[in-house]
């Protein structure tokens, strides 16, 4: 991100929590607001310049923030175990608190990657009147064996490679961030995690983008969303893994800008 991060605070789970955020083009007061929700090991900085490029291409405003435990937001405590409902808590508690702290009263577009996509779906199901639409990159709606296997490989990479050093560039406490995410996904009860039933309450437009070479999920994820949410548009990208905004950024931008603007100017 070329813009320097700012900070706000929310009160969550009995304590004050620092939230790192960046606003993009706030002067475009009449433009749609796109809120970027990062992946399970993401942060403001890990989006790099993609949010700015997307907002520039579409003439949008943007909000990028790091969830608690990520980036420069308040780190996860060493003894804090994320439970099976951790994404529900982010959608139902953290996201509304961040919007309130930043004075966001409008219904934004949510642009979510991986865990951020799942959180976007949960938010839209609980607060249908508070969201204009969803753009989802490689979201999860249930747990696949492929996902668990890849997350176990990430655990090995943490223990055996320079992954800790790489992640330390993006998180104040990279070790706490990594293990918070990794342990819950490998926690045996988490294999039953499933949010397909929640999808039935979603009423907003949905664009779901999935790479055909995604090592963390199959097309069953986005196709499952399309089966339950009427009018969902799917983009299935060849030569693309789990991060379409990094592997195929131009295609992700073109699809997103077209999707949002087609609904602004029908």
Q: What is the pLDDT of residues 88-139, one digit of tens each?
A: 999 999 999 999 999 999 999 999 999 999 999 999 999 999 999 999 999 9
d(CA 41, CA 58): 27
* CA neighbours closer than 13 Å in the CB half-sphere of residue 32: 26
Please report the pLDDT score of residue 266 as a whole number: 61
d(CA 213, CA 232): 21
Q: Which of 34-43, 72-81, 89-98, 224-233 comes out lowest in average pLDDT?
A: 72-81
C-alpha 211: how far from its chain's center? 16
- ∠ Cα 190 133 32 (to 5°): 130
Q: Cβ(64)–Cβ(51) under 8 Å? A: yes
d(CA 184, CA 88): 14
For the segment 235-251, the average pLDDT, to the nearest whole number, is 97
Residue 122: closest CA among 185, 12, 209, 199: 199
d(CA 142, CA 191): 8
How many Å is the Cα radius of gyration of the chain?
Answer: 17
User: Does pTM top 0.85 for this prediction?
Assistant: yes
Interval 4-63: pLDDT, tens: 899 999 999 889 999 999 999 999 999 999 999 999 999 999 999 999 999 999 999 999
Residues contacting 160, CB < 8 A, separation 6+: none
Q: Cβ(54)–Cβ(257) under 8 Å? A: yes
Q: Which two tokens stand for residue 146?
A: 């492929």
Stated as kind and residue range, the H or E segment containing 112 is strand 109-113
Domains of the chain: 6-264 (3.40.50.1820)
């Amino acid at each position: 991100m070329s813009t320097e991060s700012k900070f706000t605070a929310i009160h969550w789970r009995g304590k004050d929590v620092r939230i790192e955020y960046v606003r993009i083009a706030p002067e475009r007061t009449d433009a749609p607001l796109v809120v970027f929700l990062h992946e399970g090991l993401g942060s403001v900085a890990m989006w790099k310049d993609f949010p700015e490029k997307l907002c520039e291409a579409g003439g949008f405003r943007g909000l990028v923030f790091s969830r608690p435990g990520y980036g420069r937001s308040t780190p996860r405590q060493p003894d804090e175990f994320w439970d099976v409902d951790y994404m529900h808590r982010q959608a139902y508690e953290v996201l509304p608190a961040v919007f309130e702290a930043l004075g966001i009263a409008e219904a934004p577009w949510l642009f979510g990657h991986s865990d951020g996509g799942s959180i976007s779906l949960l938010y839209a199901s609980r607060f249908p009147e508070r969201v204009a639409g969803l753009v989802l990159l490689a979201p999860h709606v249930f747990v696949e064996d492929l996902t668990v296997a890849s997350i176990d490989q990430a655990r090995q990479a943490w223990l055996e490679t320079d992954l800790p050093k790489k992640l330390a560039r993006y998180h104040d406490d990279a070790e706490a961030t990594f293990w918070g995410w990794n342990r819950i996904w490998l926690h045996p009860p988490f294999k039953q995690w499933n949010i397909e039933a929640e999808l039935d309450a979603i009423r907003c437009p949905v664009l779901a983008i999935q790479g055909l070479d995604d090592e963390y999920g199959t097309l069953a994820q986005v196709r499952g969303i399309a089966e339950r949410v009427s009018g969902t548009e799917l983009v299935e990208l060849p030569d693309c893994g789990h991060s379409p905004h990094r592997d195929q950024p131009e295609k992700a931008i073109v699809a997103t800008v077209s999707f949002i603007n087609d609904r602004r100017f029908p």
